[in-house]
Chain A
Amino acid sequence: MQEMQCDQFQDFVAAWMESKRTPAAEAHLRSCASCRGLLADLEEIRAAGAAMADVDPPPRVWASIRAQLGQENLAGVRGWRAWVPSFGVSWPRPAVAMATLAVLVAGAFLLGTEVHNYNNMQRWTQGTEAATQPIRANLGNFELHEVSALHGPNPIVNAAFQKNLQIVDSYIAMCEKSVREEPDNELARDYLYDAYHQKADLLSELSERGENPQ
Chain B
Amino acid sequence: MLEAEAIRRAQHGDAAAFERIYQLHSRRVYSLCLRMVSNTAEAEDLTQEAFLQLFRKISSFRGESAFSTWLHRLAVNVVLMKLRKKRMPETSLEETTEPDEESGGPRRDFGAPDLQLSGSVDRVNLQRAVEQLPPGYRAIFVLHDVQGYEHNEIADIMGCSIGNSKSQLHKARMRLRELLHETLRDQAREQRQAVKSEAAGEG
Contacts and interface: CB of A to CB of B under 8 A. Distances in A.
Contacts of B27: 54-57
Contacts of B18: 69, 74-75
A6 to B, nearest CB: 9
Contacts of B127: 52
Contact of A56 (B30, B112, B122): B30
A78 interface: yes
A13 B169 CA distance: 12
Interface string A10-46: 0001100010000000000000001001101110111
Interface string A61-84: 110111011001011111110110
B126 A49 contact: yes
Interface residues of B, number: 49
Given A44-B117, A48-B121, A61 B48 contact: yes
Which secondary structure characterizes the binding site on chain B? helix
A77 B14 CA distance: 9
A50 B173 CA distance: 13
Contacts of A18: 166
Interface range for A: 35 or more
B116 A74 contact: no
B14 A62 contact: no
Interface string A81-96: 0110000000000000
A60 B52 CA distance: 14
A51 interface: yes
A13 B110 CA distance: 14
B118 A44 contact: yes
Contacts of A57: 26-27, 30, 43-44, 47
Nearest to B22: A62
A153 interface: no
Given A40-B117, A62-B22, A80 B34 contact: no
B15 A76 contact: yes
Contacts of B22: 62, 65
B125 to A, nearest CB: 8
B16 interface: yes
B126 A48 contact: yes
Which secondary structure characterizes the binding site on chain A? helix
A120 to B, nearest CB: 26
A75 B14 contact: yes
Contact of A65 (B35, B51, B173): B51
Given A56-B27, A57-B44, A41 B116 contact: yes
Contact of B34 (A37, A40, A45, A55): A55
B55 interface: yes
A66 to B, nearest CB: 8
Interface string B153-179: 000000000000011011001101100
B15 A79 contact: yes
- Interface hub of A52, A53, A69, A76 (most chain B Cβ within 10 A): A52
B15 A60 contact: no
Contact of A61 (B12, B15, B35, B44): B44
Given A57-B44, A74-B55, A46 B173 contact: yes
B180 A45 contact: yes
A137 to B, nearest CB: 30
B106 interface: no
A45 B52 contact: no
B56 interface: yes
Contacts of B147: 54
A50 B146 CA distance: 5
